[in-house]
Amino acid sequence: MLERGLERRHFLLGLGGLGVAALLPMPALASLSAPVRKLNLHNLRTGEQVTASFWEEGHYLDEGLNSFNRIMRDVRRNEVFPIDRALYDQLFLLQHRLGRKGEIQIISGYRAPETNRMLQQRSKGVAKKSYHMLGQAVDLRMPGVVLADLQRAAKQLRVGGVGYYPRSDFVHLDTGPVRSW
């Protein structure tokens, strides 16, 4: 009798796991199960470029994350900040969704509060409580990908905020609530 109860419990736990998995977009399931997650980031302001793995065998890799954090730093203040790992996962998912593995061009990553205030004074399009100041946002583009296609693919992921700035030639991604503008 005890054995039957354990079998039932394992069966129910398995069903629960499937239910959670069903909530994720299909490309997310496929690409986040990859044994290695790798990105090629190119900071357009500094010219720096790095290709590194940030996830292998079920673990985030400090070396890859640190090199990405440096690329995503506030270049105006030369201030490095720990970027939300979920943002790197989001970039990885986006590339998978687009079927691309190439360069991701970074226009803006982390912004110190002072930098954000300065940019606010210059442009009404800069949020007062920007996710950039939390290390949870990036403005980017991908060579060879039409900006509207990049925005559409990012929205289809349904994993955070997506802003579309065609006049400035970039898409904004963040790890905040799912929304778009």
Categorize the per-residue pLDDT at 115 as very low, low, confident or very high, splitting at 50, 70 and 90: very high
- pLDDT tens, residue by residue, 69-93: 999 999 999 999 999 999 999 999 9
- CATH code for position 46: 3.30.1380.10
Q: Please report whether residue 102 resides in a domain.
A: yes
Residue ranges making up the domain that contains 88:
25-180
Task: Reply yes or no on whether the pLDDT at 11 is more than 70.
Answer: no
So what's the pLDDT on residue 123?
A: 81
- pLDDT tens, residue by residue, 34-73: 899 999 999 999 999 999 999 999 999 999 999 999 999 9
Q: Which two tokens stand for residue 17?
A: 């796991």
One-letter amino acid of 91: L
* This prediction's pTM: 0.81
Neighbours of 96 (CB within 10 A): 19
So what's the pLDDT on residue 116?
A: 92
Q: In angstroms, rounded to a whole number, what is the distance separating the alpha carbons of residues 101 and 92?
A: 9
Beta-strand pair 137-141/103-108:
antiparallel
- Residues 148-175 as b/e (b if ≥16 CB within 10 A, e otherwise) read eebbebbbebebbbbbbbeeeebbbbbb
Q: Please report whether residue 31 resides in a domain.
A: yes
Q: Please report whether residue 130 resides in a domain.
A: yes
Categorize the per-residue pLDDT at 125 as very low, low, confident or very high, splitting at 50, 70 and 90: confident
Categorize the per-residue pLDDT at 111 as very low, low, confident or very high, splitting at 50, 70 and 90: very high
Mutual angle of helices 62-71 and 85-98, in 10-degree steps: 90
Note whether 68 and 50 are within 8 A (CB): yes
For the chain, report the end-to-end CA distance as a whole number of angstroms: 57
Q: Please report whether residue 5 resides in a domain.
A: no
Instruction: Name the domain count of the chain.
Output: 1
Q: Please report whether residue 84 resides in a domain.
A: yes
pLDDT: is 87 or 117 the higher one?
Answer: 87
Q: Please report whether residue 12 resides in a domain.
A: no
Note whether 53 and 61 are within 8 A (CB): yes
Q: Cα dist. 115→34, 36, 67 in Å?
A: 36, 34, 22
Categorize the per-residue pLDDT at 133 as very low, low, confident or very high, splitting at 50, 70 and 90: very high
Q: Which residues contact 32 (CB under 8 A, 6 or more apart)?
A: 24, 89, 92, 93
Q: In angstroms, rounded to a whole number, what is the distance separating the alpha carbons of residues 158 and 100?
A: 19
Q: Please report whether residue 123 resides in a domain.
A: yes
Q: Please report whether residue 1 resides in a domain.
A: no
Number of alpha helices (DSSP H) and beta strands (DSSP E) in the chain: 6, 8
One-letter amino acid of 99: G
Categorize the per-residue pLDDT at 126 as very low, low, confident or very high, splitting at 50, 70 and 90: confident
- What whole-number percentage of the chain has pLDDT above 90? 73
So what's the pLDDT on residue 27?
A: 45
Please identify which residue in the block is written with the tokens 């606010």: 120
